[in-house]
C-alpha cells in the first residue's frame, strides 16, 4: 500500500569527531522515504528552495520514491541544519538551524495523495501536521513524530494533534520532557494516554521501546562497531517501521513488532556513513540478512 510522508527536506552539515561534511542531503522526510522505499511505494511531500541540487531528487526517484509532492519555491533557500556529535556519537548539539523555506511550509497534498492509507507526519509543527490530517480523512494508519521544539513551544497544539493519530514516535529525552517522568516505562504509557493507540520511544544506540494498552516491550539496537554519522537514524527507523507496516497492510501487534525490528535494522545501516551514503549501497537482501542475525541474537 502506498505510504505518504510529510516532513523536512534539508541540506545538513555534520561534524563528527572524525570528519565534517558540508551541505549533504538530509531532512526527516528524506531519511524516512529512503528507508521506507525498501518495503513499499512512498510518496514524499516537502519543500525546497532553488538552491536544491536536482541530483538529490533524482536519487530519490531512482529508488522509486514519488517526488510529485516535493515543491520547489523559486527565490527561497532550502532548510539547513548544522550539528556536532560528541565522542560517544549519541549526544549531539545543534550549531545552526536555518528553517528558510520550511518555516512557511503549508503542505497542500495532490488529490491522488489524499487516498493514501498510510501516513507519516515527520518533523514539523503540530499545526502543520494537523493541516495534513485535515486533508487525509481516509487514512487508516496515521503516525507522527515530534520533537523538543514543539513540546516547548506548542504544547497545546501538540496535545490536539496527539488525539488525532494512531501512533507517535519520539526520542527518550522528548518522552521525559513531554511527561515530566524520568522512568521511560511510565513515560511511554503517559504519552499513550494523551491520545495515540501506540507509542514508540527511540533510545538511539540503546534501541526502542513500544507501548500499547496491552503491551510494553523493548528491543535493543543492532550492535554495530561502525558508527560514522547518526543523523537521520530516528527517521530511517520510522521509515523502516512504517514501510513494513504499509507492505503488510496491517498493524496487528505481531506486525508492529516485526516493523519495529525492521526499523532498527534499517537505522543500523543508516548510521554507518554520512547522509544516505550507506543506504545507497544496500538492497532489501542486506536488510533481510541482518534481520536474520538480529533474530538469532534475541533467541535463546
Applying CB under 8 A, the residues found at the interface with a second copy are 87-89, 182-186, 189, 203, 205-207, 209, 216-221, 223-225, 227, 254, 257-258, 261, 295, 297-300
Nearer to a second copy, 144 or 260 (CB): 260
At its nearest, how many Å lie between a second copy and the CB of residue 230?
A: 12
Q: Which residue in this structure is represented by grid cell 488525532?
A: 164
At its nearest, how many Å lie between a second copy and the CB of residue 176?
A: 8
Nearer to a second copy, 124 or 204 (CB): 204
At its nearest, how many Å lie between a second copy and the CB of residue 17?
A: 8
Q: In terms of C-beta density within 10 A (0-12 exposed, 13-18 middle, 19 or more buried), how is residue 205 classed?
A: middle
At its nearest, how many Å lie between a second copy and the CB of residue 185?
A: 4
**CB-side exposure of 49: number of CA atoms within 13 Å?**
16
For 159, the grid coordinates are: 496535545
Nearer to a second copy, 108 or 185 (CB): 185
Query: Nearest CA to 202 among 84, 224, 87, 191?
Result: 191
Nearer to a second copy, 164 or 189 (CB): 189
Nearer to a second copy, 51 or 205 (CB): 205
At its nearest, how many Å lie between a second copy and the CB of residue 40?
A: 19
Nearer to a second copy, 258 or 286 (CB): 258
Give the integer Cα–Cα distance in Å for 146 and 175: 10
Query: Nearest CA to 35 among 273, 233, 226, 178?
Result: 233
Whole-number Cα distances in Å, 250 to 117, 123, 237, 243: 10, 24, 18, 11
Amino acid at each position: 500500500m502506498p505510504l505518504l510522508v510529510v516532513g523536512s527536506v534539508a541540506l545538513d552539515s555534520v561534524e563528527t569527531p572524525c570528519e565534517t561534511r558540508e551541505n549533504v542531503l538530509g531532512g526527516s522526510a528524506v531519511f524516512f522515504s529512503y528507508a521506507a522505499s525498501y518495503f513499499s511505494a512512498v510518496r514524499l511531500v516537502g519543500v525546497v528552495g532553488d538552491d536544491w541540487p536536482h541530483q538529490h531528487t533524482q536519487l530519490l526517484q531512482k529508488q522509486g520514491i514519488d517526488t510529485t509532492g516535493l515543491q520547489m519555491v523559486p527565490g527561497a533557500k532550502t532548510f539547513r541544519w548544522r550539528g556536532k556529535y560528541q565522542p560517544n556519537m549519541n549526544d549531539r548539539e545543534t550549531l545552526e538551524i536555518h528553517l528558510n523555506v520550511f518555516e512557511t511550509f503549508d503542505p497542500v497534498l495532490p488529490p491522488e495523495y489524499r487516498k493514501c492509507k498510510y501516513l507519516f507526519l515527520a518533523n514539523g509543527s503540530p499545526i502543520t501536521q494537523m493541516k495534513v490530517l485535515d486533508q487525509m480523512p481516509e487514512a487508516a494508519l496515521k503516525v507522527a513524530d515530534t520533537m523538543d521544539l514543539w513540546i516547548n513551544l506548542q504544547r497545546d497544539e501538540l496535545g490536539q494533534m496527539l488525539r488525532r493519530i494512531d501512533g507517535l514516535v519520539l526520542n527518550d529525552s522528548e518522552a521525559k520532557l513531554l511527561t515530566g517522568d524520568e522512568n521511560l516505562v511510565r513515560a511511554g504509557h503517559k504519552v499513550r494516554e494523551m491520545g495515540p493507540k501506540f507509542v514508540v520511544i527511540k533510545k538511539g544506540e540503546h534501541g526502542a521501546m513500544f507501548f500499547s494498552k496491552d503491551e510494553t516491550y523493548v528491543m535493543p539496537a543492532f550492535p554495530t562497531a561502525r558508527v560514522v554519522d547518526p543523523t537521520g537514524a530516528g527517521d530511517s527507523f520510522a521509515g523502516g517501521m512504517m514501510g513494513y507496516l504499509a507492505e503488510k497492510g496491517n498493524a496487528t501487534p505481531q506486525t508492529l513488532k516485526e516493523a519495529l525490528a525492521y526499523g532498527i535494522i534499517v537505522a543500523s545501516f543508516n548510521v554507518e556513513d554520512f547522509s544516505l551514503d550507506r543506504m545507497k549501497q544496500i538492497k532489501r537482501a542486506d536488510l533481510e540478512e541482518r534481520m536474520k542475525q538480529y533474530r538469532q541474537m534475541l533467541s535463546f
